[in-house]
Structure 1
Amino acid sequence: MSISKVIRERRSIKKDYKPDAVPESLVLELLNDAVYAPNHGLREPWRFLFIPTENKETFIERMLPVYAIEQQQTRRELFSAPAAYLIVIMKEDPRQKQWEEDFSATCAMIQNFQLLAWEKGLGVVWKTNPHNWDPKAHQVLGVAPGEKIVGFLHLGFFEEDSVPKPGPRTPAEKKFTRFE
């Protein structure tokens, strides 16, 4: 499959995951390619927390108290949908330039992961929910001071007929100018 085809056909898979477990070996295989994202000075500012299918219920029980009682049932349902999770955590550099370079590199690495996963038939959606910034969630997940959750990646295999249709994209020509 060509790179342009994978880029154009990849979709965020947000629901209708199969119950199949996501093998840790597959996640590691994808990550070992994804980390070839450009990153200034090869700082590799990321680390990963994998919640495998078999540990998902424990994860859910520990995460629910982060939310108000009236939100917990909805959160339980949302947390239960994916087969597994990959949480991408970035070390925060106090220098603005380096922080932005590291954040950009981490985002590029996540996009690499999504494209590689798509090629293997693994659905991913990159989420930035309120718990990404919540100190209680950080404590549950072992996110240390000086670290940032860049994304919760929801993982699961999917049926081909459940893939969302592509949304419209603005042609680059409409957002393109040339310096004169």
Structure 2
Amino acid sequence: MSKSTQTGNAVREAIENRRTVKKFKKEAVPTQQIVDLLDTAVWAPNHKLREPWRFLLFSGDGLNKLADAIDAEMGEDNKFSANIKQVPAVMLVVMEEDPRQNVWDEDFAAVSALVQNFLLAAWSEDIGTFWVTKPFLYGPKFRKSLGIQAGEKIIGMVYMGYPEVIPSAKERTPAKDKLTIFE
């Protein structure tokens, strides 16, 4: 088997075997390992190498800052801030918004590809992830408390840690069922 075939199979296997993990062990993920994974993720295709992303990483005591930002938006009686403190690390992925719709679309696709790259790279190092959006991500108090500027969009939060439980695979609709071919 050629090296390219082996690599292709490894990539396909990683894509098909990655799972969304929602239950993590308490063990911290080293910050440098997360930075290294991000250095891999930034190889996502992005038009004209605009690199329209930035990241906010919360772990250890830093999770309190994220919880405080959630409380500022949601009030102290919410389920989100307590839950967030149970996750070993949380990363916000932020996109610089361009007012031109076609550029915005390209950048959103690029940042989404970056997140997928990160999820796959993390999985390859036995780190589970959960890419999620929550209502408070859009809130002005939450955004202000974390320095999210006008003209920036939070693409989502990535929870990460070593999996306590790895869920079973869920069925996917075969692509052929959603494919139209013009020959």
Alignment TM-score, normalising by the size of structure 1: 0.92
> 1:141: how far off?
1.2
User: Does residue 94 of structure 1 match 2:99?
Assistant: yes
Aligned partner of residue 2 in structure 1, secondary structure: helix
Aligned residues: 175
Specify the alignment match of 1:4 in structure 2. 12
Please say if residues 22 and 53 of structure 1, whose CA atoms lie closer than 8 Å, have aligned partners that are also in contact.
Answer: no
Aligned-partner Cα distance in 1 for 2:17–2:163: 14
Aligned-partner Cα distance in 2 for 1:54–1:111: 27
Q: Deviations over 1:26-46 (max 9, x none)?
A: 111001010000000000000
Query: Which residue among 138, 141, 148 is the counterpart of 1:136?
Result: 141
State the AA in 1 paired with 2:68: E
User: Does residue 57 of structure 1 match 2:80?
Assistant: no
Please say if residues 59 and 90 of structure 2, whose CA atoms lie closer than 8 Å, have aligned partners that are also in contact.
Answer: yes
Runs of 4+ in 1 over 6 A off after TM superposition: none
Q: Deviations over 1:48-99 (max 9, x none)?
A: 11112232134323421211454x2x22332123111111000000000000
Please say if residues 63 and 140 of structure 1, whose CA atoms lie closer than 8 Å, have aligned partners that are also in contact.
Answer: no
RMSD: 1.4
Query: Which residue among 19, 22, 30 is the counterpart of 1:23?
Result: 30
State the AA in 2 paired with 1:8: E
Please say if residues 45 and 110 of structure 2, whose CA atoms lie closer than 8 Å, have aligned partners that are also in contact.
Answer: yes
User: Does residue 105 of structure 1 match 2:110?
Assistant: yes
User: Does residue 177 of structure 1 match 2:180?
Assistant: yes
Sort the Cα spacing of 1:171 and 1:143 in 2 relative to 1 into closer, same or farther, 3 A.
same
For structure 2, list consecutive stretches of 5 or more residues without a partner in the other structure.
1-8
Please say if residues 85 and 155 of structure 1, whose CA atoms lie closer than 8 Å, have aligned partners that are also in contact.
Answer: yes
Aligned partner of residue 144 in structure 1, secondary structure: coil
Alignment TM-score, normalising by the size of structure 2: 0.90
Aligned-partner Cα distance in 2 for 1:25–1:172: 38
